[in-house]
């Protein structure tokens, strides 16, 4: 008979650290799909059960390198300073395809709904840490994580307090003439009736688009094109090649599309920076900081 997970409500607070429920929490398998896992940072000095849901949640999505711990750790100083919990999921490569590095950021592959895996993990967080607010959260991602964040924003805007979309190599356009992941034409049929609700996109008050000023190299260095030249890989690489030459052009194009759709966003080009997530972190923190402060004033 499976055991119910212990929560901070079950354990006296003096044992939370011994139970790995505060501080840096080790990776846990996701109940919804145990191929995925997640790690947390819960600042001991800020976490309380009363009042309930006293801590906002930052969700940091990894890129192709799967450096989930690094994503978590990039936000711990902010979490300590202002009071927030940090969740970093890990979506492993190679699920149902030994060569896969990309599929998680498309949100859907062979029936696997990565957006639902994330939402189920957040439900687990709500159960284990009832002091964390999970109904809405702050989402960040860079490179592959930026692709995930963009597409999650399209499908689940009402779950977001704010979203930071950093340097995605392939953007999904708000274009109902193009199929997913290049556009939004077939979203309803692919995602069980979900649609891209444009008024809800406009209602997300914090949207950041960020890219390095020197992020102009070919996405993937030509590797995807090489794969596509192999007959057996043609189907697997379908939709992975951007029509735009580089990440800077891709995000400039996305900014124009958001502007045309009436989606308010903060746009930043980091001068002198190529494709480097660590160099973008200070700008992401600057974007999140006032929003976290306002959250605590609610």
pLDDT in tens, 6-33: 999 999 999 999 999 999 999 999 999 9
For residue 6, is it within any domain? no
The interaxial angle of helices 144-155 and 114-128, nearest 10 deg, is 80
Q: Which two tokens stand for residue 272?
A: 């002198």
Taking phi first (over 0 means left), then psi (-120 to 50 degrees means alpha), and beta for anything else, what does residue 193 get? Answer: left
Q: Do the beta carbons of residue 114 and residue 120 sit within 8 Å?
A: no
Q: Tens digit of pLDDT for each residue in 243-270?
A: 557 899 999 999 999 999 999 999 999 9
Helices (H), 83-156: 114-128, 144-155
For residue 126, is it within any domain? yes
For residue 43, is it within any domain? yes
Angle, CA of 90, 171 and 230, to the nearest 5°: 80
Q: Tens digit of pLDDT for each residue in 228-238?
A: 665 554 555 45
For residue 16, is it within any domain? no
Q: What's the pLDDT score for residue 101?
A: 83
For residue 17, is it within any domain? no
Q: Which two tokens stand for residue 64?
A: 């192709």
For residue 255, is it within any domain? yes
Helix (H) / strand (E) containing 209: strand 206-212
This model's pTM is above 0.85: yes
Sign of the torsion formed by the C-alpha atoms of 59, 142, 155 and 31: negative
For residue 11, is it within any domain? no
β-pair partners for 216:
none
For residue 10, is it within any domain? no
Domain of 116, CATH number, reads 3.40.50.1820
Query: Which domain covers residue 284, as residue numbers?
Result: 24-296
Please count the structural domains in the chain.
1
Sign of the torsion formed by the C-alpha atoms of 68, 74, 77 and 81: negative
Residue-level pLDDT, tens digit, the chain, 298 residues? 457 889 999 999 999 999 999 999 999 999 999 999 999 999 999 998 877 888 999 999 999 999 999 999 999 999 999 999 999 999 999 888 887 888 999 999 999 999 999 999 999 999 999 999 999 999 999 999 999 999 999 999 999 999 999 999 999 999 999 999 999 999 999 999 999 999 999 999 999 999 999 988 877 666 666 666 655 545 554 555 555 578 999 999 999 999 999 999 999 999 999 999 999 999 999 999 999 999 998 8
């Amino acid at each position: 008979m499976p055991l119910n997970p212990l929560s901070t409500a079950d354990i006296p607070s003096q044992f939370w650290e011994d139970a790995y429920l505060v501080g840096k929490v080790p990776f846990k398998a996701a109940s919804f799909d145990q191929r995925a896992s997640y790690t947390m940072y819960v600042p001991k000095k800020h976490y309380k059960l009363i009042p309930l849901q006293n801590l906002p949640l930052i969700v940091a999505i990894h890129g192709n390198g799967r450096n989930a711990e690094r994503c978590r750790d990039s936000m711990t100083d902010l979490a300590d300073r202002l009071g927030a919990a940090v969740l970093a999921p890990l979506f492993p490569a190679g699920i149902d395809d030994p060569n896969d590095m990309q599929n998680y950021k498309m949100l859907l592959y062979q029936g696997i709904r990565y957006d639902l895996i994330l939402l189920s993990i957040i439900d687990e967080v709500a159960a284990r840490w009832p002091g964390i607010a999970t109904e809405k959260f702050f989402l960040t991602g860079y490179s592959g994580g930026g692709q995930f964040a963009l597409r999650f924003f399209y499908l689940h805007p009402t779950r977001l307090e704010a979203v930071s979309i950093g340097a995605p190599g392939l953007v999904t356009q708000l274009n109902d003439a193009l199929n997913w992941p290049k556009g939004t034409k077939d979203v309803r049929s692919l995602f069980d009736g979900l649609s891209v609700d444009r008024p809800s996109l406009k209602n997300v008050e914090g949207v950041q688009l960020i890219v390095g000023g020197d992020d102009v190299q070919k996405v993937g260095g030509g590797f995807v094109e090489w794969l596509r030249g192999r007959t057996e890989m043609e189907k697997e690489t379908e939709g992975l090649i951007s029509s735009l030459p580089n990440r800077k052009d891709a995000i400039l194009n996305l900014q124009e599309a958001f502007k045309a759709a009436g989606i308010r966003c903060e746009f930043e080009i980091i001068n002198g920076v190529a494709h480097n997530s660590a160099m973008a972190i200070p700008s992401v923190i600057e974007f999140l900081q006032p929003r976290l402060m306002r959250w605590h004033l609610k």
